Amino acid sequence: MSSANSASELARRLAHHAEAVCRHYLRAGHKEGRYWLVGDTLGTPGRSLYVRLSGPDYGKGAAGKWTDGATGEHGDLLDLIALNRGLTDIRDAKDEARAFLSLSLPELPPLPGSRSSSKPRNTSEAARRLFAMARPIAGTWADMYLLHRGIASAIVDDRAVRFHPHCYYRDHDDAPTRTFPALIAAVTDDHGRITGVHRSWLHPHDIGEKAPVTSPRRAMGDLLGNGVRFGMRSDESTPVMAAGEGVETMMSLRMVMPRMPMIAGLSANHLAAIQLPPSLGRLYVAVDADPAGRSGMERLSRRARQLGIEVLTLSPRLGDFNEDLRRLGSPSLTADLGSQLVPQDGARFLLAA
């Protein structure tokens, strides 16, 4: 891999334009002396996270280095972009950084040793093309995969999740391209426009297993504030909804609450940042047991309450709601949720056990 494509070189190039990076990704912040101050990596208002805007390329006081005094998180600008956009795969973070440098700063000369870049990819447009090429799940390998996970394709909205039989995959930039069957979930904004996709590559032979690759789940496109929406229409009011991280988590809940509007944020950071409908009065947050999941839930809950929205949590009995569905069954999951929902919502949304 050339030095121009390495994570460290991209971080260095971003650091040369640290203020432009901050103004783009952390817009609620402000410059104060040699620092950019903001609330957190998602760019919410505040002062606990600070980014050094100038300094040497490496070592103590280097430009682009940031620290969140509230959480102890720290890193370089490539790390910050990954957290801001909810990108868990380094390849996706590097793609986002390269797109920013090429699209937002077209006048920049190439750094020494870099190769001339091709036309930067519009990842949102690529996401829309990929989703358009995918097919409905019924009768496909994805149908069998989901059934093995306890999820019937009948509850899967084709506007939200589809199947691609030969979705491209690469472990890293210089790795050969391979193809695997994949679940393709549409990431949409609050107007229903597709801004990205989430890909879950599946094992081509073992039903119920993910593909044998380093990163079987990846997202691309404009993710911040958006998510995979189930049973939500932009032209309808949404007084009650549920939100959680994973696509399979929310589809598992839909097995017993198919009429409740839901959204999957895809990561803890993006769960915290999802755009909430203005008509929303009550929000159920499906809790993941890991620390990142709890943090995302707490930040989303705090923001929702500030908007006057009632927030209630939904907690699985086992590791997650899909495990509850598979190991305990739909009647048990229905009973568990019935004790956590407001009575009128249980009567309205839960299927009879």
Relative orientation angle of helices 90-104 and 18-25, to the nearest 10 degrees: 100
CATH number, domain at 10?
Answer: 3.90.580
Residues 214 and 240 in one domain: no
In this structure, what CATH number is given to the domain that contains residue 260?
3.40.1360.10
Residue 117 included in any domain: no
Q: Does one domain contain both 207 and 233?
A: no
Q: Which of these three, 195, 221, 247, is where a domain ends?
A: 221
Task: State whether 232 and 345 are in the same domain.
Answer: yes
What number of residues does the chain have? 353
Q: Are residues 234 and 193 in the same domain?
A: no
My answer on whether 238 and 304 are in the same domain is yes
Per-residue confidence (pLDDT) for residue 102, from 0 to 100: 62
* 236 and 332 co-located in one domain: yes
**Would 65 be classed as within a structural domain?**
yes
128 and 205 housed in the same domain: yes
Taking alpha carbons only, the member of 190, 192, 166, 191 closest to residue 180 is: 166
228 and 213 in a single domain? The answer is no
Distance CA 353, CA 335 (A): 7
Residues 207 and 234 in one domain: no
- Are 189 and 179 contacting, i.e. CB atoms less than 8 angstroms apart? no
Domain membership flag for residue 111? no
Is 353:334 a contact under the CB 8 Å cutoff?
yes
Cβ–Cβ < 8 Å for 115, 2: yes
* CA dist., res. 295 & res. 311, Å (int): 15
**CB 277: neighbour CB atoms within 10 A?**
18
The C-alpha atoms of residue 256 and residue 267 are separated, in whole angstroms, by: 23
Measure the CA–CA gap between 238 and 217, rounded to whole angstroms: 29
CA distance 97 to 201: 24
Would the pTM count as exceeding 0.85? no
Question: What is the side-by-side strand order in the sheet with 310-314?
Answer: 228-230, 262-264, 240-244, 282-286, 310-314
The percent helix, strand, coil of the chain (3-state, each to 5) is 35, 20, 45
Do 206 and 97 have their domain in common? Answer: no
Amino acid at residue number 107: E
CA distances from 281 to 21, 243, 297, 312 (A): 35, 13, 17, 11
Q: Which of 104, 137, 167 is the last residue of a domain?
A: 104
* Phi/psi at 247 (5° precision): -65, -45
Q: Which domain holds residue 296?
A: 224-353
Number of domains in the chain: 3
Q: Are 212 and 261 in the same domain?
A: no
End-to-end CA distance of the chain: 55
From 192, 221, 250, the end of a domain falls on 221
Shared-domain flag, residues 275 and 347 = yes
CATH number of the domain encompassing residue 162 = 3.90.980
* Burial label, 116 (beta-carbon count in 10 A; 0-12, 13-18, 19+): exposed
Amino acid at 9: E
Per-residue pLDDT of the chain (353 residues; tens, 9 = 90+): 444 568 888 999 999 989 989 988 898 899 988 899 999 998 888 889 999 999 888 888 899 999 998 888 899 999 999 898 878 788 888 888 887 776 433 333 344 344 434 434 567 888 899 999 999 999 999 999 999 999 998 888 888 999 999 999 988 767 788 999 999 999 998 888 999 999 999 999 998 899 999 889 988 888 878 899 998 776 568 899 999 989 999 999 999 999 999 999 988 777 878 888 888 999 999 987 666 667 778 888 888 998 899 999 999 998 889 999 999 999 999 999 999 999 999 999 998 75
